[in-house]
Amino acid sequence: MKRTLYRYIFNEIPPPFLVGMVAFTFVLLMGRFLKLAEMVVEKGVPFTDVLRMVSYLLPSFWLFTIPMALLLSILLAFGRLSGDSEVTAMKSCGISLYGLLPPPLVFSLLASLACLWVTVYAVPWGNSSFKKLMLEIARNSASVSIKEKVFNNAFPDMVIYADTLDTKAQNMEGVIVHDERDPKAPTTIFAASGALFSDPKAHSMEFQLKNGSIHRSEDGANYRMVQFQEYILRVALAEPTPKGPRKASEMTIDELVHPPQVAAAKDVLARRLELHSRLALPFSCIVFTFVGVPLGIQNRRSGKASGFSLSIAVILCYYIALSGFDTLGEKALLPPFLSGWGPNLLFLLAGGYLFVKTAAEEPLPLAAFYQRLKDAFSARRGKGAKR
C-alpha cells in the first residue's frame, strides 16, 4: 500500500516542477532579452550566435530555477492534496505527516543532484564559453560594440565617436578616435570618413581612416599635428582563451580546492567562498522540502496563485539571507563554510519547526496572522460594498 501511496504522491510533483522551471527560466531570461534583441536587430549579430549565448546563460539560470521550481512544485502538490482532503484521508488511515515525507525527499534529492551537476560542471563551462563567444563576436562583427553619436569605450584605453555609422557596410563618417594606450603620448585622430574591419587570425581590428589629422602630445608638452589622406589604426583584441586571471565563478571545483601557492589571501578567500556557495546551493532543494510540505498543507484553500506568491516570498527571504551571509563572508566576519552553508542551516531549522508544528496539527503563527489579515480585509471590503 505504501508503495502505491508513495508513487501517487511522487507523481504529483513533476508537472508543477516543469511548469516552474519554464516560468522562472523565462522570467530570468527576459532580463537579457532586450540586449539580445538589440544585437540581432541593430548590430546584425547572427541569430545562431544569440541562441548560443542563451544556451551558455541557461546553466547559471538553472542554478536558481531548480530550487525555485522544486519549492513551487511541493507547495502546489501538497496544497492540492490537502485542499482535496486527501491528506486528511491518509491521516485517518494511520499515516502521519512524517510518513508522507519520503516521496518529496526523493524528488528533492534528485533535484539536488541535478543542481550539483549544473553548479560543478555546467556553470563554469557556460560562463567561460559565453566570454569566448563575446570575444568572437567582437572580432567577427566589429560594429557590435560601437553606436553612432555616442562616445564608445569599446576597446581598452580608447574612445571612439562616429557621427554616422553604416553597420552593414561598417563605414563611418565624422570619426574621432582618442587613443591613450601610450599614457605618455595620448593621441587624438579626426577623420572625415573611415571603415572598420576585423582580422580574426591576428585577433585584431583595423580602422581605415581617410582625410583627417593626427594630434599628439608627448609628456604634455611636445605637441605634433600630422595630416593624412589615409591612415590605418590597428587595435589588438583579447585572445580567444584569456590568459588573465579568471573569476572564481569560471573555475572548476579542483581549481577552487587547490589555489596556487603564490595566490594572494584575498584570492584564496574568494575561492573558498565560491566553493562552499557552489556546493551549498544545490542542497537548498532538500531544505525547501521541509519548508514546502508544511506550508503547502497549511495553504490548502488558497489556490495556485497563492502557491506562486508564497514560493516567491520564501525564495526572496532565502536569497536575502544568502546575500547577507555572502557579504559577511567577503568581509571575513564569518568563515567560508558558515558563509556558504548558513542560509541552509537557518532555513532547515525554520522548516523543521514548521514541519513539527504541522505534524502536531498546530496552526502556524504566520499562517494564523495571514488568515486574520485576510479575514479583516474581506470584512472591510464587505462593509464597503454595503455602503
Mean pLDDT of the chain: 81
Whether 211 and 189 have beta carbons less than 8 Å apart is answered as no
Mean pLDDT in residue range 97-125: 91
Q: How far is residue 123 from each of residues 63, 230, 253, 311, 330, measured CA to CA in Å?
A: 8, 46, 11, 24, 21
**What number of other Cβ atoms are within 10 A of residue 51's Cβ?**
11
Question: Residue 32 has what pLDDT?
Answer: 81
Alpha-carbon torsion (53, 55, 60, 62), positive or negative: positive
Measured at the CA of 59, the angle between CA 58 and CA 65, to 5 degrees, comes to 80
C-alpha cell at 233: 589604426
Nearest to 64 by CA among 315, 346, 272: 315
pLDDT at 240 over 80: no
* φ, ψ (nearest 5 deg) of residue 206: -120, 130
Residue 295 or residue 105, greater confidence: 105
pLDDT at 349 over 90: yes
Tens of pLDDT, residue by residue over 170-228, are 788 999 998 888 888 889 999 999 887 766 566 677 888 999 999 888 776 678 889 99
Q: Categorize the per-residue pLDDT at 241 as very low, low, confident or very high, splitting at 50, 70 and 90.
A: very low
* φ, ψ (nearest 5 deg) of residue 198: -115, 150
Residue 236 or residue 116, greater confidence: 116
Greatest mean pLDDT among 3-12, 144-153, 241-250, 255-264 lies in 3-12
Whether 146 and 160 have beta carbons less than 8 Å apart is answered as yes
Mean pLDDT in residue range 146-172: 79
Question: Residue 116 has what pLDDT?
Answer: 92
* φ, ψ (nearest 5 deg) of residue 51: -65, -35
Tens of pLDDT, residue by residue over 44-96, are 678 888 888 889 989 989 989 999 999 999 999 888 888 778 877 887 887 88
Question: Residue 258 has what pLDDT?
Answer: 75
Residue 55 neighbours by CB under 8 Å, 6+ apart: 126
Helix (H, G, I), strand (E, B) or coil at 129: helix
pLDDT at 242 over 70: no
Question: Residue 243 has what pLDDT?
Answer: 46
Question: Residue 298 has what pLDDT?
Answer: 78
pLDDT at 123 over 70: yes
Nearest to 155 by CA among 170, 172, 171, 135: 135
Which residues on adjacent β-strands are paired with residue 193?
Answer: 173, 210
Domain ranges of the chain: 2-137+246-386, 146-236
Question: Residue 105 has what pLDDT?
Answer: 94
Q: Categorize the per-residue pLDDT at 139 as very low, low, confident or very high, splitting at 50, 70 and 90.
A: low
